[in-house]
Amino acid sequence: MNNDWQRDSTNHHQKPHIVFYFSDTGGGHRSAAEAIIEALHLKYGESFTAQMVDFFKDYAPPPFSKMSDLYPEMVKAPRLWQASFYATNGRGRARVITASLWPIAREPARNLVRDHPADLIVTVHPIANTFALKALGANRPPFYTVVTDMVTTHALWFDARSDRIFVPTESARQRALEAQMQAEEVDVVGLAVADQYCMPAGNKDELRRKLGWPLEKHIALLVGGGEGMGPLARTARAIDESGLDLGLVVICGRNEKLKTALESQTWENPVFIYGFRRDMPDLMRASDVIVTKAGPGTIAEALNANLPIILYSKVPGQEDGNVTFVESEGVGVWAPKSQLVVRALTRWICRPQEHAKIVENTRRIARPSAARRIAQVLGERLGLEQKAVV
Ligand code: UDP
């Protein structure tokens, strides 16, 4: 008899099906899953099917089902969020948490795996791992984890029952090994980003023309993750009032309130205010510097777009290590106050050699092909045929 998760093995016409467990808590989990699916299609064409399931929204009981709305609010209490991140971090503690939540997670987790039969499961969110593995039981499809935090990776990412874990950095690999993952099951590949970052950047002026941005000014790109988090408005104002001659691009993501507020203001410089954009690779490659919350997805993309990074805020806990990473690799600075952001911008505009050195450092550590490498492993596991090259 088939298990709940199993597909009808008598139907030989079915293509192998990959299910991704993700959630829109921030924008990074979605971006990583989309990047891997894109890379799979580029390599294996239509020889498989893929589906992304938002397990919080579609399966978790309230209030967890509202997690994508609650997340930006929850991290506004930074000390509490940080304290709970560290208080729950650690193998034993993670086990206690998942065990104590299991009575309420059991049924939703079982529904999740039953509703989405798969030939291979990929999780890109730390909360999904243990609950899904428990619900699947021993006789299950291959189960892979793609870590989307860069350095400070929570213990919930690492469940030794996972068949393989892809991590972005060596420090994340160490955490996986501490969590009893076998060394051969942990791959350091970088953070999965859109395939466009593997392509030549093209001409910056042309990109700017297409976007309607000035050609002759420095452009600072401001991003607060998928949700437009952190003091974006205050930072944008401080830059605009600093006397610097530049263009400002502010990405508000899904934060409609912020977008409306910024649009109602008057600005000294050319300022471009956007909501959620699907063309982040173009926006990054048309800019000269990024001012961002320390989100791992945005940092990885900025490195691949060779953009020096100014970090104006972070989600305490999971983003703490990203700050150290950016500074120690010489690709940017931590500037948690508006005047520090302005100071860093001024320095890089006035000292082009310093800016160029940082661009050089981004080239050294960029890993644009993470999604391609993950796709290859998934494709090989499923025995997918590579697309014919025309
Ligand atoms: N993003 C996007 N469009 C937007 C704003 C953000 O596609 O308008 C993407 C961004 O490129 C990145 C992700 O959302 O891939 C944000 O991920 P990150 O890890 O930086 O922060 P999070 O939002 O998860 O806290």
Assess contact for 371 and 36: CB atoms under 8 A.
yes
Lowest mean pLDDT among 7-21, 151-165, 235-249, 272-286: 7-21
- One-letter amino acid at 64 equals F
Tell me which H or E stretch contains 1.
Answer: none
193 lines ligand 1 (CB under 6 A): no
- What is the rounded CA–CA span in Å between residue 55 and residue 99? 18
Mean pLDDT of the chain: 92
**Per-residue confidence band for 356, with pLDDT thresholds at 50, 70 and 90:** very high
pLDDT tens-digit profile of 235-272?
999 999 999 999 999 999 999 999 999 999 999 999 99
301 lines ligand 1 (CB under 6 A): yes
Contacts of 31 (CB under 8 A, 6+ apart): 192, 193, 194, 226, 297
C-alpha 361 to ligand 1 mean position (Å):
22
Which atom of ligand 1 is nearest to 29's Cα? 24
Beta-bridge partner residues of 145? 123, 165
Which two structure tokens, joined as six digits, stand for 115?
Answer: 């509703």
Top mutation candidate among 150, 292, 298 for ligand 1, by most atoms within 8 Å of CB: 298
Which two structure tokens, joined as six digits, stand for 372?
Answer: 């391609």
Residue 165's pLDDT is what?
A: 97
26 lines ligand 1 (CB under 6 A): yes
Which two structure tokens, joined as six digits, stand for 362?
Answer: 């981004």
Which atom of ligand 1 is nearest to 225's Cα? 23
Higher per-residue confidence, 88 vs 257: 257
Residue 188's pLDDT is what?
A: 97
Nearest to 375 by CA among 26, 27, 50: 50
- What is the rounded CA–CA span in Å between residue 316 and residue 249? 25
pLDDT tens-digit profile of 264-278?
999 999 999 999 999
- What is the rounded CA–CA span in Å between residue 319 and residue 334? 12
Contacts of 15 (CB under 8 A, 6+ apart): 46, 47, 48, 49
168 lines ligand 1 (CB under 6 A): no
Higher per-residue confidence, 83 vs 208: 208
